[in-house]
């Protein structure tokens, strides 16, 4: 178990750096525009900020949806991408959640994790979308749980191979310090 002191110090860690403060500002009820601008400047400096003119969005190509909003297909400089769009209701909490995802994804590189291409933001509308690698194939749920055309489930060796790759990704994630 974790002690309260270690949880507090771990939670305060990201807010001790300029980037940590910029991401933490997304958790406020009304993030100051200058903090969102700081986040944009950081994105330009770290080269993850994507201009809206660089994205071709295909709103009819819905790849998935959930409590956060939806994931739609698109193109980024000719590369197929998945664009994670936050729904408009409950925007501030969801904006903070997507901001936290951005804070972590921008530093990760591993062959078993979806590639983060960047993020597109609109400061005035408090809009933030993530631009991610579009992975071809079926979802993990359908691969593991859904019967194939012959009525059988995916075979054991294939499942073990997927489990190995997921384990490698988790091992990598646990070796990183998000900041």
* Binding-site residue set for ATP: 84
Is residue 94 within 8 A of residue 69, CB to CB? The reply is: yes
User: What's the token pair of residue 81?
Assistant: 């991408």
Q: Which residues, 6 or more positions from 15, have their beta carbon under 8 angstroms from its beta carbon? A: 21, 24
Q: How far apart are CA 28 and CA 48, in angstroms?
A: 23
Q: HSE on the CB side for 84, CA within 13 Å?
A: 23
* Binding-site residue set: 84
- The angle at the Cα of 60, spanning 56 to 65, to the nearest 5 degrees, equals 100
């Amino acid at each position: 178990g974790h002690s309260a002191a270690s949880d507090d110090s771990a939670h305060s860690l990201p807010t001790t750096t300029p980037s940590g403060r910029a991401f933490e500002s997304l958790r406020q009820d009304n993030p100051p525009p200058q903090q969102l601008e700081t986040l944009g400047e950081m994105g330009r400096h770290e080269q993850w900020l994507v201009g809206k003119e660089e994205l071709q969005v295909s709103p009819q190509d819905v790849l998935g949806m959930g409590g956060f909003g939806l994931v739609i297909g698109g193109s980024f400089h000719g590369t197929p991408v998945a664009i994670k769009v936050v729904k408009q209701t409950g925007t501030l909490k969801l904006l903070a959640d997507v901001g936290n995802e951005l804070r972590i994804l921008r530093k990760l590189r591993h062959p078993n994790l979806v590639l983060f291409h960047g993020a597109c933001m609109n400061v005035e509308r408090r809009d933030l979308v993530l631009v991610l690698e579009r992975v071809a194939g079926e979802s993990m749920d359908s691969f593991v749980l859904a019967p194939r055309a012959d009525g059988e489930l995916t075979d054991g060796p294939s499942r073990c191979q997927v489990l190995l790759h997921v384990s490698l990704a988790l091992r990598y994630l646990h070796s990183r310090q998000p900041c």
